[in-house]
Structure 1
């Protein structure tokens, strides 16, 4: 049998076994963003938000975030559970600080996707995605 028909048959079989991926596969499979504006409530509650996308987790995945401004550092909420289904999802974390710790204005925000991967009997944390950026902390 000539090479071209064999190759065409093989490619056809691969196409049947591996259907085309949907829109989530078009971009990076692991990503997290931080919105350009965070909120600072009068009671000291800070809220950061953004989006994330991940696929193929073997253990639970969590969204974490932190904020720093001068010497002050806050990790609002510690992170909620993420769904790693290839779709883009919204995340939001909140935490409370004393009113004197943070103020409206520029701040550095970081967001992470961390997975607890099975390893023997103890799950080990693995960083899946991270981003940091300067944001504006807005007084509510």
Structure 2
């Protein structure tokens, strides 16, 4: 396989992994280091126009590439998940607030019970791949929430 198509395929896979974070059990925190955490607020807001706002806190240490807090929301009536933005994170060991906002299309989310998957993911450059960044997961959380009116 020529190098250029292989790198394009690897880059596409890395971007897909950034949005499709590993699933964790409901209300569980998956992290290798107790100083690296991500939380989700119990209530997620949905405006009349369908814009969803989700937030929480995070902390992380020792990053070599850019780190993002990504989030997705889903409801039990559907297997579809909706990506709710991404926030650039600062990995300085301190607790920071994050908030992502997005308008899923088509607007099929309804007020009521939902779940949020939040992931603290770093895009680390890999030696030998021409600096191609691959995802490194610092923390992940899946939490049951209430999707309420904004």
Provide the TM-score with structure 1 as the length reference. Answer: 0.76
Q: What is the match of residue 148 of structure 2?
A: 138
Q: What is the match of residue 27 of structure 2?
A: none
User: In 2, Cα distance between the equivalents of 1:93 and 1:138?
Assistant: 16
User: In 1, Cα distance between the equivalents of 2:104 and 2:83?
Assistant: 10
The higher-RCO structure (CA 8 Å, 6+ apart) is 2
Compute the displacement of 1:73 (Å).
Answer: 2.0
Aligned length: 113
Question: Which sits farther off after the overlay, 108-117 or 91-100?
Answer: 91-100
Question: Cα RMSD between the aligned structures?
Answer: 1.5
Q: What is the match of residue 102 of structure 1?
A: 109
Moved over 4 A (4+): none
Structure 2 gaps of 5+ residues are 1-32
How do 1:1-140 and structure 2 match up within 5 A?
A: 28-69=34-75, 70-71=77-78, 72-77=80-85, 79-98=86-105, 100-120=107-127, 121=130, 122-140=132-150
Task: Tell me if structure 2 keeps the 8 A contact 1:29–1:86.
Answer: yes
User: In 1, Cα distance between the equivalents of 2:48 and 2:123?
Assistant: 35
Larger Rg: 1
Call closer, same or farther: CA 1:52–1:137 in 2, change over 3 Å: same
Provide the TM-score with structure 2 as the length reference. Answer: 0.71
Task: Tell me if structure 2 keeps the 8 A contact 1:74–1:95.
Answer: no
